[in-house]
Amino acid sequence: MRKVLKVEDLNRMNDVLAKFIFANEDRKSLTLGLINSFFVQEGTAEIIDFAFKDREMDPDRQEGKGTVLDVLGECSDGTLVNVEIQLEQIKEMGKRSLYYWAQLYQRRLQEGEKYNILNRTVTINILDYKLFPDTEWKEYHSCFAVLNTKALNHALTRDLEIHFVELPKWHHKKGEKLNRLERWLAYLSSKTTMEERRELAMVDADIRTAMEAEKEFVQNYEYISAYDRQEKYERDRMAREDFVREEGEMRGEKRGIAIGKAEAKKELVILLRKKGTPDSEIAELLDMDITEVKKIH
């Protein structure tokens, strides 16, 4: 018997669903709408067209990590835009995003070509976790550029633009008027009710189109199966992280040592290996080198 999935129960940060909604040529207007909601927020010109481009496999994809939406495309004015929706908290996310931005920026320049062919390159990261402590930056949206520290209105170049949205920092009150970006965040947020989404769809044609696409999504068995596999991966990942934390706290209390101490880590490696956790995941969870993990077991 095939599983029945209702639109009311969908996790809109799920890899498979996010790609179905946003990385689809037939619904390119939604991708444009999402990107333009960021550009309007920054006071830059909206784009009128967007051509999807393939992105080479990166290590996160090959390891099956939680990089959800990975959309890359070129705008009609030559601007290159990469959009990611990120579920899993990644250490050094700032450096990772800058590294990917640099790869995208330099790939346009072939040997012998002049630097003036380089165009504005924008990376948009929508995160399902807090990246910056509230004491450092409490707003939900941040945007980075290359600026003169002596005068922040003086830019070295306008080509670099990296956005972060930290979804847990974003809250809205019922009945509050939302801007374009906030309407998309409300659509994606698990805290938004279906009634609230329907209200948004009445005033925002893009969200109305996205919700219509959801109805098509839940009717396709292959999509539902892939969606369920992604949900299971996320549940298992969270369970492993909880296990590591709880086991570490318990052993830390009993032995009077912190989770980061060598003996506690060694015990956790052995326990996780017994549960069948791959070495690569153990290394990531415990912030260890994979060769160190192999040496222990």
pLDDT in tens, 82-109: 998 888 788 889 999 999 899 889 887 7
**Tokens coding 70:** 């990975």
2 within some domain: no
> What are the beta bridge partners of residue 153?
none
1 within some domain: no
Residue 163: pLDDT over 60: yes
Q: Are 143 and 231 contained in the same domain?
A: no
Counted domains in the chain = 2
Residue range of the domain that includes 169: 7-219
Q: Are 157 and 84 contained in the same domain?
A: yes
pLDDT tens figures, 286-297: 777 778 878 876
Is the separation of the CB atoms in 11 and 85 below 8 Å? no
Portion of the chain with pLDDT greater than 90, in percent:
42
Q: What is the pLDDT of residue 109?
A: 79
pLDDT band, residue 162 (cuts 50/70/90):
very high
Is the separation of the CB atoms in 177 and 163 below 8 Å? no
DSSP structure string for the chain: -PPP--GGG--TT-HHHHHHHHS-GGGHHHHHHHHHHHHHHHTPPPPS-EEEE-----HHHHTT-SEEEEEEEEETTS-EEEEEEE-S--TTHHHHHHHHHHHHHHTT--TT--GGG---EEEEEEESS--S-TTT--SSEEEEEEEETTEEEEEEEEEEEEEEEEGGG----TT----HHHHHHHHH-TTS-HHHHHHHHHH-HHHHHHHHHHHHHTT-HHHHHHHHHHHHHHHHHHHHHHHHHHHHHHHHHHHT--TTSHHHHHHHHHHHHHTT--HHHHHHHTT--HHHHHHH-
Domain boundary residue among 201, 219, 237? 219
pTM (two decimals): 0.76
Domain boundary residue among 165, 193, 219? 219
pLDDT tens figures, 76-87: 888 999 998 888
Q: What is the pLDDT of residue 19?
A: 86
Is the separation of the CB atoms in 131 and 163 below 8 Å? no
Domain boundary residue among 219, 254, 273? 219
Q: Are 206 and 244 contained in the same domain?
A: no
**Tokens coding 12:** 């809109």
pLDDT tens figures, 230-283: 888 888 877 777 777 777 666 655 554 454 466 667 777 777 777 677 787 777
Residue 63: pLDDT over 50: no
User: Which residue do the tokens 């062919």 mark?
Assistant: 117
Is the separation of the CB atoms in 130 and 166 below 8 Å? yes
Q: Are 273 and 138 contained in the same domain?
A: no
Q: Are 119 and 259 contained in the same domain?
A: no
